[in-house]
Structure 1
Amino acid sequence: MKRYKYIILVLVSVVMIMTACKKYEPYPIEKVTIDYIFDKGDSDAVNAYKFLIGVYVNLRQGHNSIGGDALDAASDDAVSSSLSQTTTPVSILSRGAYNSLTMPADENVWTIYYNGIRSATIFVNNIDAVPTRGKVNGISLKYIYKSEARFLRAHYYFELVKRYGGVPLLGNKVYQLEDDITVPRNTFEECINYIVSECNAIKDSLRTAPVTPDQVHSVTKGAALALRARALLFAASPLFNGGNTSKDPLAGYTAYDANRWKLASDAAKELLDLGTYKLVRDFRDIFLIPNNSELIFIQTGHIGATVELYNGPVGIGAPAGLGQTSPTQELVDAFPMRRSGKFITDPTSGYSINNPYGINDPEKERDLRFQYSIFYNGAKWLNDGVQTFEGGLSKPNIGTQQTLTGYYQRKFMGKFETEASVANHNVDWTVFRLAATMLDFAEAENEINGPTAKVVETIDSLRSRAGIFKGSASSPWGIKTNITQDEMRELIRNERRIELAFEQSRYFDIRRWKIAEVVMNQPRKGMTIVKAGTQLTYTVNDNVLQTKFEPRMYLYPIPYDEVVKNPNMKQNFGW
């Protein structure tokens, strides 16, 4: 009889998805059972596919996803521009002002992802009953759909593991209300092994890129390989590879093993060796052109201009942007010079504090990713110039929300520099893309084999796309020929920071590298610009916002309710 029980929360959401489809004939909710959705007479798997779309719904959009702020504003790359600095969810994260009861809702993801895991398992357990007749590349759609659900389940587990460490693995069991659900947490190692094994099992029964426009949201073989590589990269990283504070197997491996870097390198290389994905020429087009050659897996969004509205500079356009995200000086300083490829701290780089953004001077230009990611004083936008000097259009100092650092987020926006107004465009969220996997590979390969030619070539490709000049033979693309492993490590980490800025990478990277307790216990910096006539004076503001990080914060606390109702649920160290 359990087979006929209504799984209310899941099925109600599916009914909502079904009724949103114009082709769907209204069907009484009390009649929607597992047998209706996984109909043995539905050779096109219409209802089952709609259920699968419901499993995808648990993927989360990353744009301004933390109470209207970017998650990166809880790292050292940005701060929220909000006037309520002590009460916003992202400021609670950045100041470490949370516990197992008060974790901000948008990062209290335990229930969200377990709902997704449950839905995926229901699909996996029942899709075999549907006599699906369609095929793609000789593979039955039934097996493709099943593999997509298994990927999503593995992905949701990874999202939990990178936040909490080991979590309960439920396998193919779907718990009912009357079941004993006092299950213990699995170890970190068991969770990583599960994610990797699932990716291995499904990778050859998924669609392969490029996909048709109507399937841009679908999981592909590339996505499975990217997830496996990312999970292994986290597993090899200092926080989890023998470096967890408590030496608890729930929080990571209890001893270091260099071979874990090799596993991560090999996994990323398998994806790169497919040759399916290519870097797009214009960095901005990654986020504007659907189904482009760099995208591996996305969470589909909508057509609109919400990114411009939330994050565009204040004072320009009608309506003007809200300027929600203020990039830090630390992030700005991470972008190298375009001509030399050198960091601005190098006295031979060509950097000048009197023209820090290279306006009207090609010799002082920065890496193109800088102008494509950040609005700075003098940047072009909507047929106007951004003014972040004191009293300027974009920093009027009249008690309204404005930049706290002298900068605004530019990334993900359309090419509206010379337009009168913004226009609608695709607003998707990139989960995996080629450049990120290239960086996964470079990091892991450098750790196991040092700065090999392949590592250097990988970074060269990203820097070349960013407009950095090849330069001299002794330092092509700003990378000296005799670079050491330690120097390459820092270079790769910096490349990751600027290539993946505002993509929710830095927040987790500083944790897995175990540097958060250093970088997050320093005040955030910005730039104060004063204009006198035509003269601009730049002064670094060394104390924009004080953030805080304690060692226990490397992992989130298990939600209080989960610990209280389950005596076998062990809380993380320090919580």
Structure 2
Amino acid sequence: MKKMKKAFLILAAASLLGSCKKSYLDEELVATLTNDYYKTAQGVDDLVKASYERVRFKFEYEWAYALFQVGTDEFTEGDVTDFNYYNRYASGISPVPPVSGDAFLTTLWSDNYTGINRCNAAIENLGVVPYGASITNETVKTQRRAEVRFLRAYYYFMLVQQFGAVPLLTTPTVGVQLEFPRTAVPQVYNQIISDLRFASDSLPATQGNQGRATRAAADHFLAKVYLTRGSAKVQERGQKATDIDSAAFYAERAINNAGGFVLASNYKDLWDGVYTPAIATSLPIAGDLSRSEAAQRNKEILFAAQFNSSLLYSGRFGNQTHLYFAMRYDNEVGTPRDLFSGRPFRRAQPTDYTLSLFDRKNDSRFYKSFTMHYLRTGSSSIPKWTADNAPSPALVGQDKFALGDTAVLVVVNDENTTITRQDVEKSRYAFYPRFYKDGTNTVRGFKAGVWPTLVKHLDPFRTGIATQQGTKDGIVARLGETYLIAAEAYGRLGQYSKALEFINRLRERAAYKSGEEKPQAFWQFEGGTKGDVAATYGNLIVTEAKFETNDPVEMYPASASTKAERFIHFILNERSRELAGELYRWEDLARTETLIERVQQFNTLAKPNIQAKHLLRPIPQIQIDLTYKDGRPMTGDEKKAYQNTGY
């Protein structure tokens, strides 16, 4: 007889929130501890800290892109196709993983319940623990209780978005428990909101330790949860008439927080320390650790999963998102793999939708989100000019580029390009325009493995070139998204002018500022003028005209025939412009009930297979097989009823 053991995992992760760059805890040996330890003041405080640890899940492994990013309008599979069935909605998305390396859904389920169980144990023990060194008074106990209720809500929010109805556990599971009935989605949302309301009321505006939840983080998630529940039209999430009003209220409260959280003045500040210089003055190229650490501490970030350069304190995987979005630069001449540019697993690339969405001339977010060039860092044989391609006879026989010069250039242009085949062939470096002219034909210039590399997850601070374990914190929530939540809520209420206030505030930040140097592509390929340092906000201001008509720039689907419908697709476009590649997109499309429509419009490889069942993930079969009902194993029909429809 099979049994599912839901044993409580003893983990006093005393440095799970900290690191050498921002630590406030020390690791301690806990193998000999018993559950009685967690009924002490120090023990329950360690348990609260341990409750944060599974926030790392989203960033740790290949499920980061597979469950949250590809299979959408925004990103599709790269040229390395491991697990590409998550992009294509193929039969591999199954209750039983088709390959041994795919425990994505099982881990999504089990890791979130591990986090929930720690939260439940902390809540229970906070009710009985005496005051001590760590828990000094009732105010501190309430604050700690608010932290773990915030975390429990976070874990359940991920589960309900991915799986729908899930077991709702609010007390700790110790020993063997066999029965785990699924709880209807509306009740799960009720619990999430209850936990977040308590957290919002009880958390402080600021915390003494980086990584702990604050009131602004709770307000952000309250707004997002209310928006998710209230925006459902077909799905039953228990939506209430006041949900969208509540979303607007809590989003504004998060924006107007008392904790000093503000938008970064420059979009680039959020990812600083990893950008490729225009030319390398010294080799090897290195990331700027101090700038990167400042970026990770930026006051726009409301909540982040904490990682560290010490593998001891970053769990088994570390933050591995740096692996998945880079192009195959290391197959080009003069650009061997190095620590700065990363280890490219090449799992995810931006779709044409994403590349076409930005006003690249005026909106700085595109060139601050993607890197377009790689520099020569290797001394291996470099192509030389020949009589057929040299710009002048004097260059024949000379290296086409020197150490530190551009060796690879990717250009995101449009189909009306003036770049020709001759331009590509006679370039001194590897030149990959998205389109070029070959006579009267327009040809795609990206070969397999070539695309703009997303910079947001790059991590040149790992311990070695081959090291997969990344060190950077994973952003879970930032104010840029909060502004878009507020905008969407007001738009759904029909208050478009109010919605545009939040959108245009982000666009003001996105625009090039007066005096700001623009990238070389601005004047080479985007129609700008070399040396132009004028502000561009005037060209980015949005009015209601954007969604009153079928603006071709916004690529609205044919079904969007009203202002309200076009607004939803417009806000989804704005979310991509602001949040591209930040692991929100699959859940964005699922919650707005636009996943199928937008995938069919913008993701060619996913289009043939996606169907209604893919709005939820399958429940892992191992969970179903080990679950009892009425004291006995479930029958085949009961197992089928437990599973999501279509799997």
TM category, shorter: 0.7 to 0.9
Question: For residue 196 of structure 1, what is the amino acid of its counterpart?
Answer: I
1:56 paired with 2:47, answer: no
Distance 2:147 2:156 in 1: 14
Distance 1:383 1:69 in 2: 32
Distance 1:53 1:178 in 2: 25
Question: For residue 264 of structure 2, what is the amino acid of its counterpart?
Answer: V
Report the counterpart of residue 556 of structure 1 in structure 2.
Answer: 617
Distance 1:208 1:471 in 2: 32
Report the counterpart of residue 234 of structure 1 in structure 2.
Answer: 228
- Over the residues paired in the alignment, what is the CA RMSD in angstroms? 3.9
Report the counterpart of residue 441 of structure 1 in structure 2.
Answer: 486
Moved more, 219-228 or 319-328: 319-328
- Distance verdict in 2 for CA 1:15–1:307, change over 3 Å: closer
1:288-332 deviation line (CA, Å, top 9, x unaligned)? 423322111110122499766654441436515444232221101
SS of the residue aligned with 2:194?
helix
SS of the residue aligned with 1:293?
coil
Distance 1:26 1:268 in 2: 41
1:192 paired with 2:189, answer: yes
Distance 1:168 1:8 in 2: 16
Work out whether residues 320 and 470 of structure 2, in 8 Å CA contact, stay in contact via their aligned partners in 1: no
Shift of 1:334: 1.1
Report the counterpart of residue 132 of structure 2 in structure 1.
Answer: 132
Report the counterpart of residue 382 of structure 2 in structure 1.
Answer: none
Residues 29-428 of structure 1 mapped to structure 2, 5 A cutoff: 29=31, 31-39=32-40, 45-63=41-59, 65-66=61-62, 69=65, 71-83=68-80, 85=81, 88-97=82-91, 98-102=93-97, 104-108=102-106, 109-127=108-126, 128-133=128-133, 140-171=139-170, 173-179=171-177, 181-209=178-206, 211-212=207-208, 215-237=209-231, 241-244=232-235, 252-253=237-238, 258-274=241-257, 276-287=260-271, 288=292, 289-303=295-309, 311-313=325-327, 314-315=329-330, 316=335, 318-319=337-338, 320-323=341-344, 324=346, 325-337=348-360, 365-376=361-372, 384=406, 386-388=408-410, 393=430, 404=449, 406-413=451-458, 427-428=472-473
Distance 1:335 1:405 in 2: 19
Shift of 1:517: 1.5
Shift of 1:107: 3.8
Work out whether residues 164 and 557 of structure 1, in 8 Å CA contact, stay in contact via their aligned partners in 2: yes
1:475-515 deviation line (CA, Å, top 9, x unaligned)? 86143568544344332221111211111111111222222
Report the counterpart of residue 646 of structure 2 in structure 1.
Answer: 574
Matched residues, percent identical?
21
Work out whether residues 436 and 496 of structure 1, in 8 Å CA contact, stay in contact via their aligned partners in 2: yes
Question: For residue 335 of structure 1, what is the amino acid of its counterpart?
Answer: F
- Distance verdict in 2 for CA 1:384–1:309, change over 3 Å: farther
1:357-395 deviation line (CA, Å, top 9, x unaligned)? xxxxxxxx2511101112336999976354248896487
Distance 1:311 1:163 in 2: 22
* Number of residue pairs matched by the alignment: 484
- Distance verdict in 2 for CA 1:183–1:69, change over 3 Å: closer
Work out whether residues 61 and 301 of structure 1, in 8 Å CA contact, stay in contact via their aligned partners in 2: no
Work out whether residues 557 and 572 of structure 1, in 8 Å CA contact, stay in contact via their aligned partners in 2: yes
Distance 1:483 1:100 in 2: 40
Shift of 1:470: 6.1
Distance 1:25 1:300 in 2: 18
Shift of 1:218: 0.3
SS of the residue aligned with 1:60?
helix
SS of the residue aligned with 2:307?
strand
Structure 2 gap segments, 5+ residues each: 272-291, 311-318, 378-403, 412-423, 434-445, 462-468, 513-534, 549-562, 630-637
1:495 paired with 2:574, answer: yes
- Distance verdict in 2 for CA 1:489–1:501, change over 3 Å: same
SS of the residue aligned with 2:644?
coil
Shift of 1:271: 1.9
TM-score by length of 2: 0.66
SS of the residue aligned with 1:129?
coil
Shift of 1:402: 7.7
SS of the residue aligned with 1:59?
helix
Question: For residue 332 of structure 1, what is the amino acid of its counterpart?
Answer: L
Moved more, 562-571 or 222-231: 562-571
Question: For residue 511 of structure 2, what is the amino acid of its counterpart?
Answer: G
Higher CA-based Rg: 2
- Distance verdict in 2 for CA 1:385–1:513, change over 3 Å: farther
Q: Which has the higher contact order (CA 8 A, sep 6+)?
A: 2
- Distance verdict in 2 for CA 1:383–1:223, change over 3 Å: farther
Work out whether residues 120 and 172 of structure 2, in 8 Å CA contact, stay in contact via their aligned partners in 1: yes
1:405-437 deviation line (CA, Å, top 9, x unaligned)? 632222244799xxxxxxx99611111111111
Question: For residue 642 of structure 2, what is the amino acid of its counterpart?
Answer: K
Distance 2:25 2:216 in 1: 32
Structure 1 gap segments, 5+ residues each: 1-5, 40-44, 338-364, 417-423, 525-542
